[in-house]
Structure 1
Amino acid sequence: MLFTKALRRDLANLAGVVFATLFTVLVTTTLIRLLGRAAGGKVDTASLVPLVAFSAINALPVLLVLTLYVSVLLAITRAYRDSEMVVWFASGRSLLDWIRPVLGFALPFMLIVALVAFVAGPWASRQSDEYRSRFEQREDVSQVAAGQFRESASSSRVFFVESISDDQREVRNVFVTQQEAGRVSIVVAAAGGIQGEETGERFLVLEKGRRYDGEADAPAFRLMEFERYGLRLEPRALAARDQSSKVKGTMVLIADPTPRNQGELLWRIGLPVSAVVLALLAIPLSSFNPRGGRSVNLIVALLVYVTYSNLLSLSQAWVSQGKAQFGLAVWVIHAALLAVAGLLFWRRMTLPLRRRSLLPWRAAA
């Protein structure tokens, strides 16, 4: 049908523009946030591009769901505004006839959202977690950045170097301060390098420098000059970390139905289901009334989406905390929104009948 083809073309064009806009905003904000963390020494600058890519993959399902919702909403709103819906209704069609083409357009979105939510998203979370873990487990000097003060793994040393070689093995103009058991040691050297890797213990060997020793609360320090001085580099201890449910595969969540795993599984199931529910809800929400203003239905649609998203997050939190049952929470919110969509369809379809029933009374008045 020509009208259906035109609708699908409009939906595809709008989806491309909306997704490009949302994706650009997401990448920009993620990059700015990671740059701030990298400047503070919490993220490796060499890992910025992979971390941005992993964050984009994790956010892709939500972006696709929102893109589908906004595209259907804008396309049908434009049809109302340009009086195309008048032609549609005059030809004997109803609002229910929009369901099939909209669901046909939403099906690829639902499949991609399900694929990312169940497979690609957990993989991206695992990769991102591994990048951060490797950076946290690096040795003291490996975390030093030129021109910045950095704290050691044990929080007892502070390093400062003026420059670092490309291979991260040699440093120039080194300043190291160490405080332990009330004693303070300050080491200043012109150069240094990492040695002793073959023994399994790495040392920062400083050359041509001075060491100042003294009590923390005493003004006097003892001075010692040296030609070579070694500092043992402290490796990061492998902390026992509780693996997040976000990094676990879907089959692992199903095999281990703990509250936290069920909460994560609830969220993953809700993403593709919400794509279909919101696509259906956008059809009656797109009803355009020129007397009410062009933005009223868009504001209502935005409030509905925010409420729906917050309810899904709330149900996930309740299931993760053991306050709600997984078997009930997995469908009740979606069913409630489908009921709202059905009610809106009924009101939109019966509104002309209700208006015609009032005409005799108006004429008699």
Structure 2
Amino acid sequence: MAKLDRYLLSDFLQSFLATLTVLLVVSMGGVLVDILGRIADGRIPAGLMLSQLGLQFIVYLPIILPLALMLGLALSIARLYRDSEMAVLTGVGVGPKRLLKPILLLTVPVVALVAGCSLWLGPWADRNAERMLQEASRSMVVAGLEPGQFTPLAGGGIVYLSSLTGDGTKMGKVFMQRQKEGRIDVVSANSGAMFFEGERQRYLRLEDGYRVEGPESGTLDYRLMRYARNEVALPDREEVRDQNDPEMLTTGQLLVDDRPEAKAQLHWRITPPLLALAFALLTLPLARSAPRQQRYGRIMVAFLAYTVGVSLSILGRQWLAAGKLPVDAGMWWLTLPLLLLALWLYFRDGRLSRRRAGAKA
């Protein structure tokens, strides 16, 4: 590899990795906040936080990687123009077309990674995240109930468990206190278990206990009741996704599924690597600027181009699923014109550079 190619590739790679790091921190921060919110609501067990975060990280990579690649290349190429390095390279006969090789040396592996995540790893991570949630939802730990701790309940109140079985479905002695509309409700039981009604609603079945109900203060209007069985609602678990949902199917299954929703999902998975390639090639003309010119304006143009491309792909997916677009059209109406535009601008820049060199001669 020529020294110039190594230098440019190193510069492109450093800029890409720095941009990717920033985007991952921002994106995963939002995902972490969402996961913590669901943990607080009792919809996800705290023990699954890291695994869910890791799986969601894989799911979002096909969206984050193309943007990081485009912005990283745009920042690096704009710096070459700003610091007059491109002017020096052009003066010795190295024009914009010469940048294609180091750009492709970085772009091809990234596009392959995007394709792997979009077509295989992302769907696999999505299915495993759903499977883990379904398995955990049958344990009382997912509701935030842990033995030996006072645990707040959604809607107010607190509960204490003396013991819990290994599978998290049955418990020993229970103490529960709730407040509502100025009245206090205290429940105790010798044992309990969790059961379901429908797909999402969960209940605690308490057995052989006492219940005391009365005002928080002011009067002595208390009632004492002994019960054989008492049922208490828990926070709803995460909505169960249909196993025939196209998002839950493998790419191979989508290929033989004739439903419009399945075809829309298939094209949604094919599009990210093509967009990554098109956006990477578009950075060469988009990042061009005059020497010492600020590069952030070009970066904003690149970001807007990416935003428009992703928005159109989301819209195209909805149109395909609704039958408003023919299946044969897929997302090709978006990706092919972008690729052709990138190639045309690339060859146009090469012709402009040759004309300028001829004029100076």
TM-score range, shorter chain: 0.7 to 0.9
Deviation at 1:36, TM superposition (A): 1.5
Q: 1:74 aligns to what?
A: 75
**Is residue 118–residue 250 contact of structure 1 (8 Å, CA) maintained in 2?**
yes
Q: Where in structure 2 are there 5+ consecutive unaligned residues?
A: 196-203, 215-220
**Is residue 204–residue 231 contact of structure 1 (8 Å, CA) maintained in 2?**
yes
List aligned pairs for 1:162-177, cutoff 5 A.
Answer: 162-165=159-162, 167=164, 169-175=171-177
Q: What letter matches 2:264 in structure 1?
A: G
Query: Would the alpha carbon gap of residues 206 and 335 (structure 1) be closer, same or farther in structure 2, given more than 3 Å must change?
Result: same
Give the distance between the partners of 2:119 and 2:297, measured in 1 at CA. 36
Give the distance between the partners of 2:11 and 2:110, measured in 1 at CA. 16
Q: What letter matches 1:11 in structure 2?
A: F
1:296-315 per-position Cα deviation (integer Å, ceiling 9, x unaligned): 21221111111111111111
- Say whether 1:231 aligns with 2:235: no
**Is residue 164–residue 170 contact of structure 1 (8 Å, CA) maintained in 2?**
yes
Q: 2:270 aligns to what?
A: 269
Q: 2:198 aligns to what?
A: none
Query: Would the alpha carbon gap of residues 149 and 232 (structure 1) be closer, same or farther in structure 2, given more than 3 Å must change?
Result: closer
**Is residue 83–residue 292 contact of structure 2 (8 Å, CA) maintained in 1?**
no
Give the distance between the partners of 1:130 and 1:176, measured in 2 at CA. 33
1:90-121 per-position Cα deviation (integer Å, ceiling 9, x unaligned): 22233222222211211111111111111111
Q: What letter matches 2:279 in structure 1?
A: L
CA RMSD of aligned residues (A): 3.8
Give the distance between the partners of 1:195 and 1:329, measured in 2 at CA. 50
Q: 1:216 aligns to what?
A: none
Give the distance between the partners of 2:238 and 2:268, measured in 1 at CA. 30
List aligned pairs for 1:304-343, cutoff 5 A.
Answer: 304-343=305-344
The structure number with the bigger radius of gyration is 1
Deviation at 1:8, TM superposition (A): 0.7
Deviation at 1:206, TM superposition (A): 4.2
SS where residue 92 of structure 1 aligns? Answer: coil
Q: What letter matches 1:148 in structure 2?
A: P
**Is residue 187–residue 210 contact of structure 1 (8 Å, CA) maintained in 2?**
yes
1:119-139 per-position Cα deviation (integer Å, ceiling 9, x unaligned): 111111111222333455557
Give the distance between the partners of 2:194 and 2:261, measured in 1 at CA. 45
Give the distance between the partners of 2:86 and 2:240, measured in 1 at CA. 61
Deviation at 1:257, TM superposition (A): 2.4
1:226-253 per-position Cα deviation (integer Å, ceiling 9, x unaligned): 3x63336899999985332122100000
Deviation at 1:211, TM superposition (A): 5.6
Q: Where in structure 1 are there 5+ consecutive unaligned residues?
A: 152-158, 178-185, 214-220, 360-365
Per the normalisation by structure 1, the TM-score is 0.78
Aligned residue-pair number: 335
Q: What letter matches 1:248 in structure 2?
A: L
List aligned pairs for 1:139-178, cutoff 5 A.
Answer: 144=145, 146-150=150-154, 160-165=157-162, 167=164, 169-175=171-177
List aligned pairs for 1:153-302, cutoff 5 A.
Answer: 160-165=157-162, 167=164, 169-175=171-177, 188-194=186-192, 203-207=205-209, 209-210=210-211, 223-226=223-226, 229-231=228-230, 241-243=241-243, 244-290=245-291, 293-302=294-303
SS where residue 311 of structure 2 aligns? Answer: helix
1:248-298 per-position Cα deviation (integer Å, ceiling 9, x unaligned): 100000011211111111111111111111111011111012486432212
Per the normalisation by structure 2, the TM-score is 0.78
Give the distance between the partners of 1:54 and 1:305, measured in 2 at CA. 24
* Range with bigger deviation, 133-142 or 116-125: 133-142
Q: 2:199 aligns to what?
A: none
Q: 2:105 aligns to what?
A: 104
* Range with bigger deviation, 232-241 or 117-126: 232-241
Deviation at 1:14, TM superposition (A): 1.5
